[in-house]
């Protein structure tokens, strides 16, 4: 009996589901941009605040210092996760998302075990589907869904982007890397 009581003392605290915590009432009183970030492979979830913006480049930061850099909503860098995406060359992804082309290349760079950047190249194809309803904490939207299928020598992944009528990425599922998996983002407050 004592052992069971002590086991409870050293158990991790229960995880908070931000989807239940960030109610419409809470969000109504929140007066700054907010991004919900889910790392499903790690079972982690956090809110991130916009800490820097330069044109279309935004840096979002969680309370524990993890940052995600987005360019027009596309993930280009992470810091603080371990196995971070250090830099990304997006190629012509913007043109692909606009439907101007259906194939593009992207390059991801990660630190290897010797603290050197290692580049991973991918060829990506795009499928665009209009009028896809999506439900987020910010509301329900009719979106343009872009599916990006990327193939490299060792890794394949699929990113998804849901853009509203103004071109804002309301929701995304984007590959960070082999050590992190995917990051799901949702624009909660503009």
Residue with structure tokens 């605040």? Answer: 49
SS3 134: strand
Q: Centre a 10 Å sphere on the Cβ of residue 37 and count the other Cβ atoms it contains.
A: 19
Res 6: pLDDT: 44
Residue with structure tokens 């979106």? Answer: 143
Considering only the C-alpha atoms of the chain, give the largest distance between any 2 of them, rounded to a whole number of Å. 67
Residue 53 lies in a domain: yes
Per DSSP bridges, beta strands 74-79 and 169-177 are unpaired
Residue 59 lies in a domain: yes
Residue-range definition of the domain harbouring residue 133? 34-189
Cα–Cα distance measured from residue 47 to residue 123, given in angstroms and rounded to the nearest whole number: 31
pLDDT level of residue 5 (50, 70, 90 thresholds)? very low
pLDDT level of residue 149 (50, 70, 90 thresholds)? very high
Residue 24 lies in a domain: no
List, for residues 20-31, the tens digit of each pLDDT value.
888 888 888 889
Per DSSP bridges, beta strands 169-177 and 139-151 are unpaired
Residue 26 lies in a domain: no
Q: What average pLDDT is seen over the chain?
A: 92
Res 18: pLDDT: 86
Q: What is the count of structural domains for the chain?
A: 1
Residue 79 lies in a domain: yes
Identify the CATH number of the domain in which residue 43 sits.
2.40.360.10
Residue 23 lies in a domain: no
List, for residues 38-61, the tens digit of each pLDDT value.
999 999 999 999 999 999 999 999
Per-residue pLDDT, averaged over 84-88, amounts to: 98
CB 97 within 8 A of CB 146: yes
- Name the β-bridge partners of 44: 39
């Amino acid at each position: 009996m004592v052992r069971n009581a002590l086991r409870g003392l050293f158990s991790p605290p229960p995880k908070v589901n931000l989807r239940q915590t960030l109610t419409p009432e809470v969000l109504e009183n929140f007066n700054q941009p907010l991004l919900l970030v889910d790392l499903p492979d790690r079972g982690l979830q956090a809110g991130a605040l916009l800490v820097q913006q330069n044109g279309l480049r935004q840096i979002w930061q969680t309370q524990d210092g993890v940052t995600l850099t987005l360019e027009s909503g596309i993930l280009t860098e992470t810091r603080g996760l371990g196995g971070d995406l250090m830099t990304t060359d997006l190629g012509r992804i913007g043109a692909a998302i606009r439907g101007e082309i259906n194939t593009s290349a992207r390059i991801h760079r990660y630190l290897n075990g010797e603290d050197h950047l290692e580049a991973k190249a991918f060829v990506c194809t795009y499928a665009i589907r209009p009028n896809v309803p999506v439900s987020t904490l910010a509301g329900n939207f009719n979106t343009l869904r872009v599916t990006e299928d990327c193939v490299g020598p060792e890794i394949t992944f699929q990113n998804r982007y849901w853009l509203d009528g103004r071109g804002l990425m309301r929701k995304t599922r984007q590959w960070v890397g082999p050590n992190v998996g995917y990051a799901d983002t949702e624009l909660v407050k503009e």
